Amino acid sequence: MNQPPAAKPQTWHYRKRRAANSLFWLFASLATIIALIPLGLLLSYVVARGLPGLNPAFFTRLPAPVGEAGGGMLNAIIGTLVLVGLASLVGLPFGIIGGIYLAEFGNNRFGSSVRFAADVLNGVPSIVIGSFIYTIVVLQTHQFSALAGGLALGMIMIPTVMRTTEELVRLVPLSQREASLSLGASQSRTILQIVLLSAKAGVITGALLAIARIAGEAAPLLVTSPGSMLFSTSLNQPIASLPVQIYLYANAPYDEWNRQAWAAALVLVMMVTIFSLAARYATRGKFRIVR
């Protein structure tokens, strides 16, 4: 660094620097390749083992009794849809409206602390949030329930949705706001009808991405709605879900169940991949999906 530029590029010192730099390149490229190996392994196994189990029965049948062949995951698929719907009812309004606040009015100390809290809450393990919901809902009602599961998932969604909404609303150019205001529109109308219109595609994909994420969450459901083999859409009964079913089936000593666990894993992975691709496309890579 503090050496003068090499007058003769062939000197020993110059070669040493070149060698160090090559080593650095080698290390960084190798690290990148190593980082991608697990993804390749994971995806190839999920596809190879999941595809055979992905037949019409998987989507249309209820689980078969132990020892019988066949059966499917209809109850878990419906259950996941119910849970995701409940979670969206809780998570999306809080996330999106809070995110609008952060983007439009949040350049103050209160905004910073909410932003900070969202990032911190995002790092709180989902099982802790599950335990929280267990304590306030399940213990009070003496009942595991779909409602408790949906609440837990919704709470997990809030910080993610809030931060992505904020980022996407911020991407809308200031000139659009100024144009609207200069035409006499009020601030609330400007935000609701102009800014949100521009940010709509992004906010929707951000929400979809958060939904895809929580659809794969098993930990909070394990302590709030720990699965069932029955078909149920009742909100105050425990409801089955794909991730919990994967967990139960993976630990079971039946080949048929293991096969269905892989098939369910493939369904979740496909969903997450498609939503991630869509988010990347809709926002042209302008915001991160890792938090």
Partner 1 sequence: MSETSLPKWKLPRRGLVKGNFADWLFRNTTRLFAAALLVLILLLFGILTEGSLSSIRAFGLRFVTSSTWDPVRLIFGALPPLYGTLLSSLIALVLAVPVGLGTAVFLAELCPPWLKSPVSFLVELLAALPSVVYGLWGIFVLVPALRPVETWLGQHFGFIPLFQGAPYGIGLLAAGLILAVMILPIITSVSREVLLAVPHSQKEAAYALGATHWEALRGPILRYARAGLLGAIILGLGRALGETMAVTMVIGNSPQISASLFSPASTLASVIANEFLEATDAMHISALAEIALLLFIITIIINSAARLLVWSVTRGGRVGVRE
- Find the binding residues for partner 1 in span 99-128 (CB under 8 A): 100-108, 110-111, 113-114, 116-128
C-beta separation of 50 from 259 below 8 A = no
Among 5, 56, 65, 67, binds partner 1 (CB under 8 A): 5
Alpha helical stretches, state H, 124-254:
126-133, 139-141, 146-170, 174-182, 187-189, 196-215, 219-222, 242-251
Task: Give the shortest CB-78-to-partner 1 separation in angstroms.
Answer: 18
Backbone angles phi, psi at 71, to 5 degrees: 90, 165
Task: Give the shortest CB-235-to-partner 1 separation in angstroms.
Answer: 20
**Does the footprint of partner 1 cover residue 197 (CB under 8 A)?**
no
Q: For residues 208 and 191, what is the distance between their CA atoms, to the nearest angstrom? A: 22
Stretch that binds partner 1, among 15-23, 62-70, 76-84, 199-207 (CB under 8 A): 15-23
**Does the footprint of partner 1 cover residue 289 (CB under 8 A)?**
yes
Nearer to partner 1, 66 or 128 (CB): 128
Nearer to partner 1, 61 or 170 (CB): 170
- 45-104 positions binding partner 1, by CB under 8 A: 45-46, 49, 93-94, 97-98, 100-104
Would you tell me the crossing angle of helices 242-251 and 74-105 to the nearest 10 degrees?
Answer: 130
∠ Cα 43 156 270 (to 5°) = 20
Task: Give the shortest CB-277-to-partner 1 separation in angstroms.
Answer: 8
Task: Give the shortest CB-107-to-partner 1 separation in angstroms.
Answer: 6
**Does the footprint of partner 1 cover residue 222 (CB under 8 A)?**
yes
Q: Give me the 154-193 binding string for partner 1, x by CB under 8 A, dash otherwise.
A: -x--xx--x----x--xx--x------x----xxxx-xx-
**# of chain residues touching partner 1 (CB under 8 A):** 112
C-beta separation of 264 from 246 below 8 A = yes
For residue 80, what are the CA distances in angstroms to 233, 252, 285?
A: 10, 21, 28
Q: Give me the 20-39 binding string for partner 1, x by CB under 8 A, dash otherwise.
A: xx-xxx-xxxxxx-xxx-xx
**Cβ-based neighbour number of residue 50 at 10 Å:** 22
Q: For residues 154 and 189, what is the distance between their CA atoms, to the nearest angstrom? A: 28
For residue 285, what are the CA distances in angstroms to 35, 210, 275, 289?
A: 20, 16, 13, 9
Q: For residues 102 and 115, what is the distance between their CA atoms, to the nearest angstrom? A: 7
- 243-262 positions binding partner 1, by CB under 8 A: 243, 246-247, 250-251, 258, 261-262
Among 11, 55, 60, 135, binds partner 1 (CB under 8 A): 135
Nearer to partner 1, 23 or 197 (CB): 23
Stretch that binds partner 1, among 59-67, 76-84, 198-206, 209-217 (CB under 8 A): 209-217
